[in-house]
Structure 1
């Protein structure tokens, strides 16, 4: 049986969203996108994605704020989150993981690294649903 994973990609840069869409496209995946934090929170609540790829520097809410609000909501608290960000320092990564992100992928990233992080988070998502 093929499971249909729902991925939510959040980035204010259209080119980054296009790259994510092309990289993550598979027959067993659906992808939704958001260009700001408020839209991401709304989609996470209503669409219930299997995982979220989240830029941290957004125009309305910071990615940290988005993570915090997702983790405080029972309907979205268990959705795995990958921070996809230009914040590459070790202390930035540690803050993101402490905030509730499951993985951090630094921009610019290797497509293989992103795919591995997505696969790991989808495995977590599948285990949570089992």
Structure 2
């Protein structure tokens, strides 16, 4: 299924290189996700700062946001809620990248406006699948 999504995206995208915003307060998580995205030939920008995330979204309008949930100051639920309430950004898919996996956690993610979630630790293929799946939805 992943290879099918990748091929469909490549057919539709031609020379387009999506921009993925990665928000996580852990440097290793940022490095891992950015390496995966770079290997896909996509652009990325990273931030450890939840408050900077909203500023980057408004300036860059990324194609997808990978957002950690447990962060100091603003948490990922608050950030997602702010983004989804803004008409200019509400269409941007936000994927929660989290270790929170209970049914209650998933309900809170959904209520905050997340389009999908990825449980830490995750496999490279899972991240690639989520990215291609949401990019495909945006290109249709």
TM-score under structure 2 normalisation? 0.85
Shift of 1:30: 0.7
Which of 52, 58, 65 matches 1:39? Answer: 52
Q: Give 1:21 shift.
A: 0.6
> How many residues are matched?
126
Provide the rounded CA distance (Å) in 2 between the counterparts of 1:3 and 1:93.
32
Contact 1:10 1:35 in 2 (8 A): yes
From 86, 92, 99, the equivalent of 1:79 is: 92
Gaps in structure 1 of 5+ consecutive residues: none
In 2, Cα distance between equivalents of 1:94 and 1:124: 22
Q: Distance in 1 between matches of 2:101 and 2:87?
A: 30
Residue number in structure 2 paired with 1:111? 124
Match of 1:3 in 2: 16
SS class of match (1:98): helix
The RMSD of aligned alpha carbons is 1.1
Superposed counterparts of 1:1-130, under 5 Å: 1-25=14-38, 26-27=40-41, 29-127=42-140
SS for the counterpart of 1:115 is helix
- TM-score, length basis structure 1: 0.91
Q: What is the CA distance between 1:57 and its match in structure 2?
A: 0.8
Show structure 2 runs of 5+ residues with no match: 1-13
